[in-house]
Amino acid sequence: MSASGHPEYRLRRAVVEDVPAIMELERTTFVTDAWSERSMRSEVTGEHGYYLVAFEPSAPERIDGYAGLLAPRGGGEGDIQTIAVAPHARRRGVGRTLMLALLAEARDRGAREVFLEVRADNPGAQALYRELGFEEIGVRPKYYEPDGVDAVVMRLGDPATAIPTPETTA
């Protein structure tokens, strides 16, 4: 596993032309609380954002995953804004690879801590974040509407600690 891409997948920076394909995955993944296309466009193109898409080299036009970071350079902290992997591509390390790439970018932008929110009823995503070193620091009651589901707030103290050294990625 390398931080630059799963063996079967590649990552690249998302561009505005990717937004329709990202939105397709967004709407099927987050059925009740998907972002609007307008919000996604402003996230993907925002000055302080960093969005990646994952694709198979044999089908580069198909986006099988995306993830985004918000981290103003020199601001000292970052937020994982979103992550989704298409059902057929899950449990193959794509989510972890996307997260590691976002954390590397957060580190490069000077973030000393990274935050995220995750639905309390999403143990799979929580397991991924815990594996990377995120710890639960609080709960925002009924944060996700219209479902009324709590958000678990998680924090990673130093993004560099989650990123494997070259020896461990061989």
Ligand X SMILES: CC(C)(COP(=O)(O)OP(=O)(O)OC[C@H]1O[C@@H](n2cnc3c(N)ncnc32)[C@H](O)[C@@H]1OP(=O)(O)O)[C@@H](O)C(=O)NCCC(=O)NCCS
Which span (15-23, 88-96, 103-111, 134-142) binds ligand X, by CB under 6 A?
88-96
CA dihedral 33, 39, 44, 49 (to 10 degrees): -90
Q: Identify which of residues 124 and 164 has a Cβ nearer to ligand X in the complex.
A: 124
154 near ligand X, judged by CB under 6 A: no
Which span (41-49, 71-79, 94-102, 140-148) binds ligand X, by CB under 6 A?
94-102
83 near ligand X, judged by CB under 6 A: yes
Indicate if 117 belongs to the active site. Answer: yes
Distance CA(132)–CA(50), nearest Å, equals: 19
Give the distance, in angstroms, between the CA of residue 76 and the centroid of all CA atoms in the same chain. 19
Binding residue (CB under 6 A) for ligand X from 24, 33, 113, 131: 131
CB 81 within 8 A of CB 69: yes
Could you say which of 66, 117, 136, 143 is catalytic? 117
124 near ligand X, judged by CB under 6 A: yes
User: Whole-angstrom distance between the N-terminal and C-terminal Cα of the chain?
Assistant: 7
Could you say which of 66, 129, 131, 144 is catalytic? 129
CB 69 within 8 A of CB 78: yes
3-class DSSP state of 84: strand
Binding residues for ligand X, per CB under 6 A? 29, 83-85, 90-96, 118, 122, 124-125, 127-128, 131
**Hey, which residues are catalytic here?**
117, 129
